[in-house]
Amino acid sequence: MTTAPEKETRQFQTEVRQLLDLMIHSLYSNKEIFLRELISNASDAADKLRFEALSDDKLYEGVSEIDVRITFDKEAGTLTIADSGIGMTRDEVVANIGTIAQSGTKEFLKNLSSDEAENAHLIGQFGVGFYSSFIVADRVALITRRAGTEKDQGVHWESAGDGSYTLETVEKESRGTEVVLYLREDEQEFLDNWRLKNLVQKFSDHISWPILMEKPPEPAAEPEEGEEAKEEEAEVLLEWETVNKASALWTRSKSEIEEEEYTAFYKHISHDFEEPLSHLHVRLEGNYDYTLLLYIPKRPPFDLWDRDRKHGVKLFVKRVFIMEGAEELLPRYLRFMRGVVDSSDLPLNVSREILQQDKAVQAIKKGLVSKSLSMVESLAKAEDGEKYQGFWDTFGLVLKEGVIEDMTNKERLAKLLRFASTQNESGEKPEAQTVSLADYVSRMKEDQDKIYYVFGESHSGAAHSPHLEIFRKKGIEVLLLSDRIDEWLISHLSEFEGKQLQAVSQGDLDLDGDDEKVKEERKKKEDDFEGIVTKVKETLGESVKDVRLTYRLTDSPSCLVGDTNEMSATMERLLREAGQNLPETKRILELNPSHALVVRLQNEKDDGRFGDLSNILLDQAILSEGGSLSDPTAFVKRLNSLLTT
């Protein structure tokens, strides 16, 4: 084992240097949040100590009191935030301060622009934590020692935020962490007792650990008449006062909590800059008692699509923090939720293994999921439709995962789904046109018994699918599905309120019912084109499953369709892209007998041109649904040949 040098200089990770520079310039108008972030970190360290001490009370080192202390020195220009929490080892300091050990960091930084206001929002989603110190300080020192280690194993970290930092092994008597900010000359406002106390009460009043500040000394009393003033001043004893409520917010009655306090607590647990979209505070009593305080954010966390990251809801047992983001409590499709759940029925030494088996956990999870969905349902039912539309634009893709993963709540989730539709085909963005399945059903034609949909590689591809032509002609609404997850979603959602969901590109399509006149016309065309259909099928051979006339096209010459239960072409492409080795799927080519190219095919006497035209009709059908040609060069040659002869 190699011993680390007592003092060394290291370089920040590239992403840290970028983030530091962006924060200093983008977050200056929100500079007060540095205190919130540092107190939040101190609170987390206190939570971790109490949890680890459940199984090893030696970590308290004989001092069980835990608090956060704020002091300042006007002469030195320093502000110190100290906690008696878990502390860090040298390796932990390097991992937590020198690097950003979070997946998605580089992608996050790519999204930042020259717009400082927008960057502030994005950085807020990312969570600034310790690095916010450099918004107000030109130098920051961190002195820490992990609980349970020797006093000579303290670590002194220091940096001017210029790309490097120093690490030194030092002695530290007490466990925990001190962050010393050497404030810039124009930030001396934070060396004021009243100013700091006001900020604590504004941002961190809800912290469950005492936040202590030095109590200003009482003015010396004037000597009474006849009493001589004492020449020697009595020694002034340092007194501390608690400047926050120091009680877990969720344990208080809702009637006692101001809206601003709920918002401040949300920002504490999420490190978000904005107010939440919605919140719910409820105590559930029955076989198991637990309290929920849940939030829906306005904006997506930067790592929303990292499904393996531990997200969201913190688990407390009797107000003792246990863990964060347990999938045993909240399924992954609700990973955007933030908040806390506090149970009185779980053991303090609860582990993930216990979580998987405990009946109380199963009951809590059921209630937690139900209340989360109730919050979303309330947004959907609100008169302000734009609020739910905003939620759907942000978290809709994640919620769609629930239909696939959560069979118990599939029907509730189906009512929350929103889709683009041919009902509102304007030049607006597709997300402004979404409709619910209930909306669709309410608008169905009198004799319509199916909910129709079409897949596309993009919204534009779905909206311009040739399969929609007959539906537009007859005024039948079709859902436009272009999200990659939609294929899996529909495979798990075959019906809604008794109405079957039907792809317009699969199975036989008969929108004319029992109209005898239409049947006669179709029979006549099938007889007229019988020879041509047979010849096209012989020409294309193994390239197609079958060839037949179509009744779903009005403007296009051809299209490809699959049998009702076959995998769609879009799903097949997605699986191939994912590395799946699938057998080749043959599909049915349908020809529009009213189109000039098909009429020309009927009259074509030259076998070579007949073959070229047949292949072109197949290739066009493949391209129109977003597919790719196996031999693009052959397609171009055939097309050029027909255009020049």
Question: For 544-631, where are the alpha helices, taking DSSP H only?
Answer: 569-577, 596-603, 607-624
- Indicate the pLDDT class of residue 268, thresholds 50, 70 and 90: confident
Query: What confidence category does residue 236 fall into, taking pLDDT thresholds of 50, 70 and 90?
Result: low
CA 364, chain centre distance (Å): 23
Does 487 score more than 80 pLDDT? yes
pLDDT tens per residue across span 410-426 = 999 999 999 999 987 65
Helix (H) or strand (E) holding 587: none
> Sorting pLDDT into bands at 50, 70 and 90, what band is 557?
very high
**146 Cβ partners below 8 Å, 6+ apart?**
86, 87, 88, 89, 92, 153, 175
How many CB atoms within 10 Å of residue 607?
Answer: 10
Report the topology of domain 250-376. Answer: Ribosomal Protein S5; domain 2 (3.30.230)
**Is the four-CA dihedral 130, 135, 136, 137 of positive or negative sign?**
positive
At residue 512 the predicted structure's pLDDT band, cuts being 50, 70 and 90, is: low
Q: Which CATH architecture has domain 7-216?
A: 2-Layer Sandwich (3.30)
What kind of fold does domain 516-643 have according to CATH? Answer: Four Helix Bundle (Hemerythrin (Met), subunit A) (1.20.120)
Maximum mean pLDDT: which of 29-43, 79-93, 255-269, 594-608: 79-93
Most confident of 64-73, 223-232, 605-614: 64-73
Domain ranges of the chain: 7-216, 250-376, 418-503, 516-643
Helix, strand, coil tally for the chain in percent (to 5): 45, 20, 40
Ramachandran region of residue 258, left (φ > 0), alpha (ψ -120 to 50) or beta?
beta
pLDDT of residue 505: 87
User: What kind and span of H or E run contains 203?
Assistant: helix 193-203
Q: Residue 209 and residue 245: Cα distance in Å, rounded?
A: 9
Report the pLDDT value the prediction gives residue 417, as an integer from 0 to 100. Answer: 96
Banded model confidence at residue 121, pLDDT cuts 50, 70, 90: very low
Contact 488, 575 (CB under 8 A): no
Q: Are 84 and 65 in contact (CB under 8 A)?
A: yes
The pLDDT assigned to 433 comes to 66
Check the CA dihedral 106-110-111-114 and report its sign: positive
CATH of domain 418-503: 3.40.50.11260
pLDDT of residue 309: 63
- What is the average per-residue pLDDT within 332-358? 83
Beta 479-481 vs 450-455: how paired, if at all? Answer: parallel
Q: Among 11-15, 75-79, 603-607, which is the least confidently predicted range?
A: 11-15
To the nearest 10°, report the CA torsion of 478, 479, 483, 484: -70
The answer on pLDDT for 113 being more than 60 is: no
Rounded Cα gap, residues 499 and 379, in angstroms: 25
Compute the average pLDDT of residues 437-449: 92
- The conformational region for residue 83 under phi > 0 = left, psi -120 to 50 = alpha, else beta, is beta
Which is higher by pLDDT, 78 or 448?
Answer: 78
Please state, in angstroms and as integers, the Cα–Cα distance from residue 141 to each residue in 138, 183, 396, following that order.
10, 11, 43
Q: How many CB atoms lie within 10 A of CB 241?
A: 12
If you search the block for the tokens 């080519």, which residue do you land on? 589
pLDDT grade, residue 215 (50/70/90)? confident
Mind giving me the DSSP string for 15-70? HHHHHHHHHHHHSGGGTTHHHHHHHHHHHHHHHHHHHHHTT-GGGGTT-----EEE
Of 50-64, 127-141, 149-163, 269-283, minimum mean pLDDT range: 127-141
The better pLDDT of the pair 473, 563 is held by: 473
* Percentage above 70 pLDDT, the chain: 85
Distances (CA, A) of 343 to 137, 249, 327, 423: 40, 15, 16, 47
Instruction: Please determine, for residue 460, whether its predicted confidence score (pLDDT) is greater than 70.
Output: yes
Per-residue tokens: 484:
């990659």
- pLDDT computed for residue 25 by the predictor: 62
pLDDT digits (tens, 9 = 90+) for 367-405: 999 999 999 999 999 877 788 999 999 999 999 999 999
Q: Which residues of 109-133 are buried (b: 16+ CB within 10 A; e: fewer)?
A: beebeeeeeebbbbbbbbbbbbbbb
Q: Which residue has the higher pLDDT, 490 or 567?
A: 490
- Could you tell me the CA-to-CA distances from 395 to 224, 417, 557 in Å, in that order? 71, 11, 39
**Which helix (H) or strand (E) segment is 295 a member of?**
strand 290-296
Q: Give the 3-state secondary structure of residue 240.
A: strand
Most trustworthy range by pLDDT among 60-74, 126-140, 455-469, 576-590:
60-74
